[in-house]
Homo-oligomer: A and B are copies of this chain.
Amino acid sequence: MAEPLFDRIALVGIGLIGSSLARVIRREGLAKHVAISSRSETTLKRAESLALGDSFHADARDAVRDADLVIVSVPVGASGAVAAELAPALKPGAILTDVGSTKASVIAQMAPHVPAGVHFIPGHPIAGTEHSGPDAGFAELFENRWCILTPLPGSDPEAVEKLAAFWRRAGSNIDTMDPQHHDKVLAIVSHLPHIIAYNIVGTADDLEAVTKSEVIKYSASGFRDFTRLAASDPTMWRDVCLHNKDAILEMLARFSEDLAFLQRAIRWGEGDKLFEMFTRTRAVRRSIIEAGQEIDAPDFGRHVAAHPEK
């Protein structure tokens, strides 16, 4: 095993992302000591009984004291309060990062609290599942996924490189971009898909003419795909919607405009327009599979996963 990258890593928040980090840090030997803190007593106890770290702290300040790397993994709406709380305990020279799905808002909330001499480098691993909490994490979560860093003007290149090295050891590829661009990209690749998924599941749940039991029984014809994203953590997604409002509203407007075009083509029986659009979208999936970002098996490999012995 290679040298530990850090003496002490503090994980503030130990849900899906935090606990996946804890597991990969252990597996790869990335720290001599992992200090874990959570606002929720239940979550902290669970993390302790899963032995996710070396020390467990109800007070985030006790976790981050003496830490060389502090990773905040909380819903983006809580970033400001968490930064305010732990800032006074940060060690000079420490790297402070986060994993939030929005970046401009997190920077606006956290940066004002960061003491001089601490390297604040916002980040966002593009990885997750629909499950949440310390039990949901797994060490392979970041493997072959991208991690986007959005360093601030004047960020120390050495600290950025050290954080990038950490994510690479966790299995990720690294990109850097400015926070505004990140928020626009994520609005289309992540935020809009989740909102649309929540919405369609809500629409189906509200029907009178089709029963809930029918929706469930026949869901394998398409609907069930959407229920996965729509089963994601409500607190996280409420916060994303509130904290990336402008980019999300822009993408929603484009989506609705395109949908109106499609709807009109259906109403007027314009088969050629439908065919053209349904053909063009096929290529996008092929590119995603070729880029190694999707499994090359029909139906997300559900059949393989359901019968692993075959």
Contact = CB atoms under 8 A, between A and B. Distances in A.
A285 B130 contact: yes
B285 A228 contact: yes
A127 interface: yes
B218 A146 contact: yes
Interface in A226-241: 226-232, 234-235, 237-239, 241
A267 B245 contact: yes
A200 B257 CA distance: 11
Contacts of A189: 204, 210, 214-215, 218-219, 221-223
Given A220-B145, A295-B306, A234 B278 contact: yes
A157 to B, nearest CB: 23
Interface in A34-63: none
Q: Give the interface residue-count category, chain A.
A: 35 or more
B224 A225 contact: no
Given A216-B287, A304-B308, A227 B281 contact: yes
A193 interface: yes
Given A188-B223, A218-B185, A251 B285 contact: no
A194 to B, nearest CB: 5
B293 A220 contact: yes
Contacts of A184: 209-210
B281 A198 contact: yes
Interface stretch (A88-96, A105-113, A269-277): A269-277
A297 B202 CA distance: 22
Contacts of A126: 217-218, 220-221
A195 interface: yes
A198 B186 CA distance: 19
Contacts of A197: 222, 225, 281
A227 B288 contact: yes
A198 to B, nearest CB: 5
A244 to B, nearest CB: 9
A284 B209 contact: no
Closest 4 CB pairs of A and B: A301-B305, A190-B221, A193-B222, A234-B278
Interface of A: 77, 101, 126-131, 136, 138, 140, 145-146, 148, 175, 181, 184-186, 188-207, 209-210, 212, 214-232, 234-235, 237-239, 241-242, 245, 248-249, 251-252, 254-256, 258-259, 262-263, 265-267, 269, 271, 274-275, 277-282, 284-288, 291, 293-295, 297-308
